[in-house]
């Protein structure tokens, strides 16, 4: 066996770097590890000095992974995950044989759940636990095998498996536009309340971006009504409170049931709107690959 010790970076810095890369935050990494933010920053700088590469960009009191940092973070996260899994096996405390699928709440409720029976029929031997979340991947509260989220959201050093397309278009209750001649022109939408999911940072498309993407000069301004979660936006649309932006894969069921309609024809197509990530747990590689293959097939359209 080759002696690899001298080629390794300072091992004491790897745990701090892995947490900082996964969370894309020195402060969050410090809280997770029970250290100070300064201690995490020092460990990362030691690692960067050893490697001769910047792993993070520091801008305006925030940190962002460089391309080298993202790639190295995936490798370190996978290696530490393997060691943790093997240590658990040796201690006799290995996790149960279930797969964990982490999914954004809206996609979990409106897109995944109606299809999940097909996965169970195709793979009756795989125990799958779905964990839904409103938070980005960098704030995941537990380990996962596969994760799904909107591509613009923070993902830290998570390993991207593949992306999928989606289309974004206005939707509303049929009652709201019952007296209007459909389809409406995009400019006509400004006469209605526009329902918006406002977050900081604004990591998915909102009305300003949608109008710009279709080449319209409309500025929604004071006509928007803001909500702190996308499920609330959709429920407000169903209740007739205004017009929302709908992602095709999320709202297609409600459109088919007549709960929502498309008041205009315009759609913004985004070829890589959904990202599917592979987790760091490696004890069930074959089952994880089966889940990834099934998701790829379901998202292939």
Can you give the residue ranges of every domain in the chain? Answer: 5-91, 96-301
Residue written as token pair 């020092």: 42
The DSSP symbol for 89 reads H
Burial class (CB in 10 A: 0-12, 13-18, 19+), 20: buried
Specify the DSSP element, H or E, that contains 64.
Answer: strand 62-65
**In the numeric block, which tokens belong to residue 172?**
């509303």
CATH of 96-301, one of 3.20.20.100, 1.20.1290.10, 1.20.1340.10, 3.40.190.290: 3.40.190.290
What is the C-alpha to C-alpha distance for residues 96 and 99, in angstroms, rounded to an integer?
9
**In the numeric block, which tokens belong to residue 142?**
């537990």
pLDDT in tens, the chain (301 residues): 455 556 788 888 999 998 898 888 898 888 878 889 999 999 999 999 999 999 999 987 788 899 999 889 888 887 887 777 666 556 654 455 689 999 998 899 899 999 999 999 999 999 999 999 888 898 887 789 999 999 989 898 889 999 999 999 999 999 999 999 999 999 999 899 999 988 777 778 999 999 999 999 888 766 789 998 888 999 999 999 999 999 999 999 999 999 999 999 999 999 999 999 998 776 678 899 999 999 999 999 6
**In the numeric block, which tokens belong to residue 115?**
């299809």
Q: The pTM is what? A: 0.74
**In the numeric block, which tokens belong to residue 69?**
């940092």
The DSSP symbol for 94 reads P
* CB-CB neighbours of 274 under 10 Å: 21
Indicate the CATH number for domain 5-91. Answer: 1.10.10.10
What is the C-alpha to C-alpha distance for residues 221 and 218, in angstroms, rounded to an integer?
9
| Cα separation of the two ends of the chain | 48
Residue written as token pair 């029970």: 34
């Amino acid at each position: 066996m080759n002696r690899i010790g001298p080629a390794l970076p300072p091992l004491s810095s790897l745990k701090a770097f892995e947490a900082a890369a996964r969370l894309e935050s020195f402060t969050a990494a410090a809280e997770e590890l029970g250290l100070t933010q300064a201690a995490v920053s020092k460990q990362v700088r030691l690692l960067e000095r050893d490697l001769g590469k910047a792993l993070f960009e520091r801008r305006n009191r925030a940190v962002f992974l460089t391309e080298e940092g993202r790639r190295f973070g995936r490798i370190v996260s996978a290696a530490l995950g393997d060691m943790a899994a093997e240590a658990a096996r040796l201690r006799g405390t290995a996790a149960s044989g279930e797969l964990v699928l982490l999914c954004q709440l809206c996609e979990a409720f409106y897109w995944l759940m109606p299809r999940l029976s097909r996965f169970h029929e195709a793979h009756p031997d795989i125990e799958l636990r779905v964990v839904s979340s409103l938070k980005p991947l960098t704030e995941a509260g537990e380990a996962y095998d596969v994760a799904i989220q909107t591509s613009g959201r923070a993902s830290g050093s998570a390993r991207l498996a593949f992306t999928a397309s989606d289309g974004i278009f206005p939707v509303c209750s049929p009652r709201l536009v019952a007296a209007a001649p459909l389809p409406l022109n995009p400019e006509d939408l400004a006469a209605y309340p526009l329902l918006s999911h406002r977050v900081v940072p604004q990591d998915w498309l909102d009305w300003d971006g949608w109008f710009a993407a279709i080449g319209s000069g409309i500025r929604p301004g004071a006509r928007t009504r803001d909500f702190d979660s996308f499920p609330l936006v959709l429920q407000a649309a169903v209740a007739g409170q205004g017009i929302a932006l709908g992602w095709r894969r999320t709202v297609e069921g409600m459109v088919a049931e007549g709960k929502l309609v498309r008041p205009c024809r315009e759609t913004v197509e985004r070829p890589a709107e959904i990202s599917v990530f592979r987790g760091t747990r490696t004890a069930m590689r074959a089952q994880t690959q089966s889940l990834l293959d099934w998701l790829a097939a379901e998202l292939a359209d």
